[in-house]
Amino acid sequence: MAMLINGQPGEQVSALDRGLAYGDGIYRTIEIRAGQPRLWTWQYRRLVADARRLKLPVPDAALLLDEIGQLAGGLEQGVAKIVLTRGVGARGYAMPADVRPTRMVSVTAWAGYPPERARDGVHVRWCDTRLACQPLLAGIKHLNRLENVLARSEWSDPDIHEGLMLDTRGLLVEATMSNVYLVTGQQIITPKLDQSGVQGMLRDWLFAHAPQLGYPLVEAEILPAQLQAADAVFLSNSLIGLWPVASIDGQSLPHAHPCCAQLQALLAAEN
């Protein structure tokens, strides 16, 4: 693990940082291949969008790329993480008049997930933990992640690879660390994220690329029963790529649909 905090080597931050006090910040997790961040344009675009919604100043792309490059140089495969917070603040929720954000960039070596998950699919479960409906924070990859922590604490079986989550209305939102897609015929649907959930950058990428393969991708309100009825279900995040879902709570799903494999091939060709 190597880390730069506001450009300086180090691994410690002030205990008064608002990122710690209130979760007042955002982050991104980025795959590193051959010393470079993958799908950087998509990652940075989402970082900027999230920062604007929380009125956080966002560093230049060139600065972040340079810092990732310093840490990842020569690394064949790894993970970068960018955390941006509203910096050190006085006591109280009010945003400081003069915000000096804290920028943490770290890179770790990492060999990736077992490749059979992308090929044969993963086994998932339904979580009991539901996501609250909060339009002001929905979609943002912010540092208030207790709901995901509680959901992920529901199981410890290593053969369960992800947990699906509903919102408090009973609609599908996401899995604990990934977005969810249902394939029906030639169409893909994915939950609207206007009430809760995280808009992953691969979700943006899929909106741009799935139609090119003949699969229009549309947002929808999705009930749990629709997953068993779909032709295929798959998950996305920046580190897993795309994982077909082989079973939910032990019930097998069809996952021979060509859609996911075609999208995986297209994604593998990206930088």
Binding residues for a second copy, per CB under 8 A? 1, 3, 5, 10-24, 27, 29, 54-55, 79, 81, 83, 85, 91-95, 104, 106, 108, 129-130, 132-134, 136-137, 142-153, 156, 168, 176-177, 196
**Distance of closest approach, residue 153 Cβ to a second copy, in angstroms:** 5
What b/e string do you get for 223-237 counting C-beta neighbours within 10 Å, with b at 16 or more? Answer: eeeebeebbbbbbbb
Token pair of 249 as six digits: 């709570």
Q: How far is the CB of 174 from a second copy (least distance, A)?
A: 12
DSSP secondary structure, 172-239, as one string:
EEEETTBEEEEEETTEEEEE--SSSSB--HHHHHHHHHGGGGT--EEEE---THHHHHSSEEEEEETT
Q: Are strands 36-37 and 162-166 parallel, antiparallel or unpaired?
A: unpaired
Q: How far is the CB of 134 from a second copy (least distance, A)?
A: 4
Given the complex with a second copy, which of 93 and 269 has the nearer CB atom? 93
> Cβ distance 219 to 190 under 8 Å?
yes
Q: What token pair was written down for 58?
A: 């966002």
Closest distance to a second copy from the beta carbon of 223 (Å): 20
Rounded Cα gap, residues 217 and 201, in angstroms: 15
End-to-end CA distance of the chain: 23
- Cβ distance to a second copy smaller for residue 133 or 213: 133
Q: Which C-beta is closer to a second copy: that of 62 or that of 97?
A: 97
**Shortest distance in whole angstroms from residue 11 CB to a second copy:** 5
Alpha carbons 201 and 195: distance in angstroms, whole number: 18
| CA 107 to each of CA 32, 40, 79, 82: distance values in angstroms, whole numbers, following the listed order | 8, 15, 6, 9
> Nearer to a second copy by C-beta: 152 or 209?
152
Of 138 and 202, the one with the shorter C-beta distance to a second copy is 138
Kindly state the smallest distance separating residue 200's Cβ from a second copy, in Å.
14
Residue 80 or residue 217: which is nearer to a second copy going by CB? 80
State which residue, 3 or 242, has the beta carbon closest to a second copy.
3
Least separation in angstroms between CB 159 and a second copy:
14
User: Which residue number, 47 or 210, has a Cβ lying nearer to a second copy?
Assistant: 47
Least spacing, CB of residue 70 vs a second copy, in Å? 16
Q: Are 239 and 37 in contact (CB under 8 A)?
A: no
Structure tokens at 82: 């960018």
C-alpha distance from residue 186 to each of 24, 63, 123, 208 (Å): 41, 41, 24, 16
